[in-house]
Amino acid sequence: MNIHFTEQAIDQIVQQLQSYEDSFIFLSYELGGCGNPLDGAVRLQLFNKKPKNTRTLETNSVPVYINSSAQMHLEKDLMIDFQSTGYLIKSNNQIYGYSLKLERINE
CA distance 80 to 61: 11
Q: What is the pLDDT of residue 97?
A: 93
Query: What are the φ/ψ torsions at residue 44 (nearest 5 degrees)?
Result: -105, 120
Q: Please, what are the averages of pLDDT over each run of 10 residues along the chain (107 residues)?
A: 97 92 90 65 91 92 92 94 97 95 86
The pLDDT of residue 5 is 98
Radius of gyration, alpha carbons of the chain: 13
Residue 25's domain comprises 2-32+39-105
Domains in the chain, number:
1
CA 47 to chain centroid, in Å, comes to 12
What CATH number corresponds to the domain at position 92? 2.60.300.12
Kindly give the pairing relationship between strand 55-59 and strand 64-66.
Answer: antiparallel
